[in-house]
Amino acid sequence: MSKPRLLATRPLFEPVRNLLDDHFSMEYWTNPERIPRAELLSRVAGKDGLICLLTEKVDEELLSGAPNLKLAATVSVGFDNIDVAACTRHGVVATNTPGVLDETTADFAWVLIFAVARRLLEGVEMIQSQTWKGWDLDQLCGADVWGKTLGVVGFGRIGRAVARRARGFGMKILYSDALRVAEEVEREASAQYVEFDRLLSESDFVTLHVPLLPSTRHLMSTPQFARMKRSAFLINTSRGPVVDEAALVAALDSGKIAGAALDVFENEPNVHPGLLGRKNAVLTPHIASASLETRTKMAMIAAQNAIALFDGRRPPNALNPDVLEKSRG
């Protein structure tokens, strides 16, 4: 029997390729430039499955041009690139990669918190430009992190992993979420549930860990920045459009907040020009989960989802398992 034909929009990693090549007839997009949309549409057209990145949209147009497609596996936990309802209509199982990137992403949220609070980049620049004249009492004085209040917006796996680390810094931990978590989870994280507005007004660091949904788009905009302390910092490792970048720039310009550290942007790879070149904005290119171990695990999970589906099993991370019920029923 011939192997199912899959397109992967990146070469992935060697151990993952080895596994995929055993099970499927694979086509990898290996060009260092990301796959152009037209190329994606034409290459996926005759395939049974697609392994893609969060930068590739799986939408009505793609699905209707790929009538044999049974799987769309994104190598990311966020799946706002996939129109899951359209996948369901087309009988395509969509999968993501939850679980393996929580700790790595939480580590990076702390990289950003410290970098922005302790003016890391200005210090590095002083050394690199050879403008450092030696120790001075008021040189690059930033803000303390230890003992402050951390506000975690979105208390899922990643938000909780960020909160767990805060205990080591003796911080007070507040969280807000659509739903309050169980008491033992709050106890384990030493976190207190508060309404979003209260979190904004009491936190020294507001860190975002929500998925991108219609309800979270521009969750942080002018009224929210106005509620924050003037000494507070915003951290975003979730999705760019959760923050209204124009409003953020205005808040930074007017001193409504002290600074921001962002790993994600509203219109990637573009960055609002008002964020560039500022001392109080630390900007990184969507790398919060980018350790080799974690990215390899993410790709491996996408591969395992594919193998499960084409073996006739339920993929562990199916986002629309109802497709499988229907095809069986």
Q: Which of 62, 101, 174, 262 binds ligand DGY (CB under 6 A)?
A: 101
Rounded least distance, CB 242 to ligand DGY, Å: 12
Is there binding between residue 77 and ligand DGY (CB under 6 A)?
Answer: yes
* Cα–Cα distance, 142 to 120 (Å, whole number): 9
Instruction: Kindly write down the DSSP assignment for every residue of 224-250, as one continuous string.
Output: HHHHS-TT-EEEE-S-GGGB-HHHHHH
Give a three-class secondary structure readout of 294-314: HHHHHHHHHHHHHHHHHCCCC
Question: Helix, strand, or coil here: 151?
Answer: strand
317 touching ligand DGY, by CB under 6 A: no
Considering beta carbons, is residue 54 or 73 the nearer one to ligand DGY? 54
Select which of 160, 165, 239, 295 is catalytic.
Answer: 239
* Residues of this chain, 178-217, that bind ligand DGY according to CB under 6 A: none
CA separation for the pair 196, 216 (Å, rounded): 12
Measured from the CB atom, is 78 or 156 closer to ligand DGY? 78
Identify which of residues 149 and 216 has a Cβ nearer to ligand DGY in the complex: 216
Using the minimum distance from each CB to ligand DGY, give the nearer residue, 211 or 274.
Answer: 211
Rounded distance between C-alpha atoms, residue 136 and residue 246, angstroms: 36
Radius of gyration of the chain (CA): 22
| 175 phi and psi angles, rounded to 5 deg | -140, 155
Q: Among residues 9, 76, 317, 320, which is the contact residue for ligand DGY, using CB under 6 A?
A: 76
Is 239 catalytic? The answer is: yes
Interface residue with ligand DGY, options 11, 46, 65, 78 (CB under 6 A): 78
Stretch binding ligand DGY (CB under 6 A), from 74-82, 123-131, 142-150, 190-198: 74-82
Q: Bridge partners of 261?
A: 235, 282
Active-site entry in 165, 209, 286, 295: 286
Give me the 29-68 binding string for ligand DGY, x by CB under 6 A, dash otherwise.
Answer: -------------------------x--------------
Q: In what order do the strands lie in the sheet with 71-74?
A: 25-28, 5-8, 49-52, 71-74, 93-95
Residue 188's region, left for phi above 0, alpha for psi from -120 to 50, else beta, is: alpha
Provide the minimum distance between the beta carbon of 53 and ligand DGY in the complex, in angstroms, as a whole number: 9
Using alpha carbons, list the distances in angstroms from residue 201 to 45, 148, 231, 233.
Answer: 51, 13, 11, 12
Q: Is 81 in the site for ligand DGY (CB under 6 A)?
A: no
Catalytic site positions: 239, 268, 286
Q: What residue ranges bind ligand DGY (CB under 6 A)?
A: 54, 76-78, 101, 289
